[in-house]
């Protein structure tokens, strides 16, 4: 007869959100970890514990807040003063090591529109940096937001560098980003875009419709060709009209598409965020679209190698000189808290920041607390601010006031 299971770590929490569909909030709950993966999770106390008996020596009892899956952010342009398009190895290390403080344990560094040669160089540079990164948030690949976008919906992108997705241009980026390029945002109405979507999809790259003036029919054609995402829904795209659904209308109605949503409540009003959650349940993933100014004081920073200004004021997004919104300074735990404050269910908001983006990017081992999943965990306080984070079962962040984990 087999002996009792052994675990590297057992955590108990007053509330546990596993991220799995229909599980809701468990009060209390526990998670057991071994070899960097979840071995058990469920309501109540772990099997080895009981009333009056604390968890084993390897256990951690969280006295307040809730334990949730690590957040997965598919759109991070930069953070802590660093921009991924230009950051050196030290800059990458800074972001990777510090991002878990926001609850994000896995992410896609994002590079926006730039000249083709610079984009290819950024992809190659990232390949040399990744092996030497310190412990911290997982890098799941790279996201290219552009250059195949609409000049009419360019947002903060430089119009001079926007171009069509010609076969040679797509091939060059695939070659430079082989094994690393994971997501491409493009406008499906551009000449050659449908063929590009097919080529990128065949290469294993997720395609997202964004910075686009496409009609609903053109967005549907993109989904026919393999696109499965819409980048920061409602922003930098043809708006929804009752006789022409545009990009957001098709995004919310089409079951093949999952939409990124910047829930800083500045890019999209709280009421419209709730409309998106209600219209497309299970198909909204929270993204920060964070720029280099995120986690930094007000001042001047870069996005796409060009200046942006982070004004003074809590939650105010950065802007270009002409006032155009230019990414955000949003934390992922704040995005979750914003959605809950707006009226979304707690479990739904957490799933939108964890399981839904993980599934979209083809990582069913992330974004949930279930046996076999990676032990990427976040402890949130009652106000949903991150207190501690684990990646693969190893603690990578603990707030000073939470070092005792009690």
pLDDT of residue 8: 85
The three-state (H, E, C) secondary structure of the chain, written as one string: CCCCCCCCEEEEECEECCCCCCCCCECCEEEEEECCEEEEEEECCCCCCECCECCCCCEEECCCCEEEECEEEEEECEECCEECCCCCHHHHHHHHHHHHHHCEEEEEEEEECCCHHHHHHHHHHHHHHHHHCCCCCEECCEEEECCCCCHHHCCCCCHHHCCCCCHHHHHHHHHHCCCCEEEEEECCCCCCHHHHHHHHHHCCCEEEECCECCCHHHHHHHHHHCCCEECCCCCCECCCCCCCCHHHHHHHHCCCCEEEEECCCCCCCHHHHHHHHHHCCCCEEEECCECCCCCCCCEEEEECCEEEEECCCCCCCCECCCCCECCECCCHHHHHHHHHHHCCCHHHHHHHHCHHHHHHCCCCCCCCCCCCCECCEEEECCCCCEEEEEECCEEEEECHHHCCCC
Is residue 305 within 8 Å of residue 86, measured between CB atoms? Answer: yes
What residues act catalytically? 289
Which pTM value belongs to this model? 0.95
Length of the chain measured in residues: 406
Together in a domain, 30 and 166: no
Do 310 and 387 share a structural domain?
Answer: no
User: Which of 133, 138, 205, 147 lies closest to 175 in space, CA to CA?
Assistant: 205
Tokens describing residue 401: 């006031």
Q: Within this chain, do residues 145 and 205 fall inside the same structural domain, yes or no?
A: yes
Check the CA dihedral 231-390-350-273 and report its sign.
negative
393 in a structural domain: yes
Does residue 267 share a domain with residue 186?
Answer: yes
33 and 132 inside one domain? no
Is the residue at 1 inside a domain? no
**Buried/exposed 29-59: b ≥16 CB within 10 Å, e otherwise:** bbbbbbeebbbbbbeebbebbeeeeebeeeb
Nearest-angstrom CA–CA distance, 132 and 90: 10
Contact 167, 195 (CB under 8 A): yes
Same domain, 148 and 97: yes
- Shared domain for 60 and 169, answered yes or no, is no
Closest CA to 277 of 198, 197, 370, 339: 339
Residue 40, CA distances (Å) to 17, 34, 88, 264, 290 in order:
14, 9, 40, 34, 34
Residue 4 lies in a domain: no
Residue 3 lies in a domain: no
Residues 294 and 385 in one domain: no
- 386-391/394-398 β-pairing: antiparallel
Same domain, 271 and 379: no
Question: Which residue has tokens 């057991």?
Answer: 32
Range of the domain at 107: 71-360
Domain-embedded: residue 271: yes
Whether residues 18 and 141 fall in one domain: no
Check which CATH number belongs to the domain holding 380 and give it: 2.30.40.10
Residues 91 and 48 in one domain: no
How many folded domains does the chain comprise? 2
Cβ-Cβ contacts under 8 Å for 313 (sequence gap 6 or more): 298
- Evaluated on CA atoms 352, 354, 359, 361, the torsion sign reads positive
Residue-wise pLDDT tens for the chain (406 aa)? 233 444 589 999 999 999 988 889 999 999 999 999 999 999 998 876 555 555 554 689 999 999 999 999 999 999 999 999 999 999 999 999 999 999 999 999 999 999 989 999 999 999 999 999 999 999 999 999 999 999 999 999 999 999 999 999 999 999 999 999 999 999 999 999 999 999 999 999 999 999 999 999 999 999 999 999 999 999 999 999 999 999 999 999 999 999 999 999 999 999 999 999 999 999 999 999 999 999 999 999 999 989 999 998 778 999 999 999 999 999 999 999 999 999 999 999 999 999 999 999 999 999 999 999 999 999 999 999 999 999 999 999 999 755 555 5
| 94 part of a folded domain | yes
Cis geometry, peptide bond prior to residue 221 (ω within 30 degrees of 0): no
Task: Return the ∠ at Cα 79 (arms to 75 and 81), rounded to 5°.
Answer: 145
If asked whether residues 177 and 125 sit together in one domain, one would say: yes
What region does 229 belong to: left with phi over 0, alpha with psi -120 to 50, or beta? beta
The CATH number that applies at residue 153 is 3.20.20.140
């Amino acid at each position: 007869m087999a002996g009792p299971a052994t675990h590297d770590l057992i955590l108990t929490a007053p509330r546990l959100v596993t991220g799995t569909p229909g599980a809701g909030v468990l009060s209390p709950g526990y998670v057991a970890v071994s070899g960097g993966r979840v071995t058990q999770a469920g309501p109540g106390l772990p099997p080895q514990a009981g009333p009056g008996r604390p968890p084993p020596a390897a256990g951690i009892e969280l006295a307040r807040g809730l334990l949730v899956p690590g957040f997965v952010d598919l759109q991070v342009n930069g953070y802590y003063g660093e921009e991924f398009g230009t950051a050196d190895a030290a800059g990458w290390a800074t972001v990777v090591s510090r991002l878990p403080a926001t609850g994000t344990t896995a992410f896609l560094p994002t590079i926006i529109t730039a000249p083709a040669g610079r984009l290819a160089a950024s992809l190659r540079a990232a390949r040399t940096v990744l092996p030497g990164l310190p412990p911290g948030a997982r890098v799941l690949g790279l996201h290219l937001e552009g250059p195949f976008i609409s000049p009419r919906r360019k947002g903060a992108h430089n119009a001079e560098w926007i171009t069509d997705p010609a076969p040679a241009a797509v091939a060059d980026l695939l070659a430079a980003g082989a094994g690393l390029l994971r997501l491409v945002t493009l406008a499906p109405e551009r000449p050659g875009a449908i063929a590009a979507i097919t080529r990128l999809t065949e290469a294993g790259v997720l395609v997202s419709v964004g910075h686009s003036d496409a009609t609903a029919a053109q967005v549907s054609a993109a989904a026919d060709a393999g696109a499965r995402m819409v980048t920061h829904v409602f922003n930098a795209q043809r708006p929804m009209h009752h006789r022409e659904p545009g990009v957001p209308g098709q995004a919310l109605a089409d079951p093949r598409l999952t939409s990124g949503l910047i829930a800083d409540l500045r890019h999209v009003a709280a009421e419209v965020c709730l409309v998106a959650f209600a219209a497309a349940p299970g198909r909204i993933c929270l993204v920060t679209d964070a720029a280099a100014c995120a986690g930094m004081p007000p001042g001047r920073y870069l996005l796409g190698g060009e200046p942006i200004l982070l004004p003074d004021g809590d939650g105010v997004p950065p802007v270009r000189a002409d006032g155009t919104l230019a990414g955000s300074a949003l934390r992922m735990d704040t995005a979750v808290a914003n959605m809950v404050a707006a009226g979304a269910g707690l479990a739904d908001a957490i799933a939108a920041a964890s399981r839904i983006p993980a599934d979209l990017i083809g990582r069913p081992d992330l974004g949930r607390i279930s046996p076999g999943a990676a032990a990427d965990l976040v402890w949130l306080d009652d106000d949903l601010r991150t207190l501690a984070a684990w990646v693969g079962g190893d603690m990578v962040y603990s707030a000073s006031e939470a070092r005792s984990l009690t």
